[in-house]
Amino acid sequence: MPLSMVKEGEPNVIRKVGGKEETKKFLENLGFVTGGTVTVVSSIGGNMIVNVKDSRVAIGRDMANKIMV
């Protein structure tokens, strides 16, 4: 399921990062790599704050939909 549907506070393993090649590269540079762990900290109005690789990253719902867990 996409990251945008995950409950807050639950650690999830990233199964796949989708989208165009430049989108994949952008997300990988932020730490969203297959096999990595991601936890949703908060979700407000479609924007999400997530913990990935010991850092907090803010992403929009469109980007979160490209990350499958």
The phi, psi pair for 49, rounded to 5°, reads -110, 125
Beta strands in the chain (DSSP E): 11-13, 16-17, 37-44, 47-52, 55-59, 67-68
* For range 25-39, the mean pLDDT: 94
| Residue 24 confidence (pLDDT) above 90 | yes
> Which domains does the chain show, CATH number per domain?
3-68 (2.30.30.90)
Cα gap 19→7, rounded to integer Å = 23
pLDDT of residue 55: 92
Radius of gyration of the chain (CA): 10
Q: What is the pLDDT of residues 2-20, one digit of tens each?
A: 999 999 999 999 999 999 9
Instruction: Give how far Cα 12 sits from Cα of 1, 9, 41, 57, Å.
Output: 11, 9, 12, 15
pLDDT of residue 46: 83
Its pTM stands at 0.89
Q: What is the pLDDT of residues 37-47, one digit of tens each?
A: 999 999 998 89
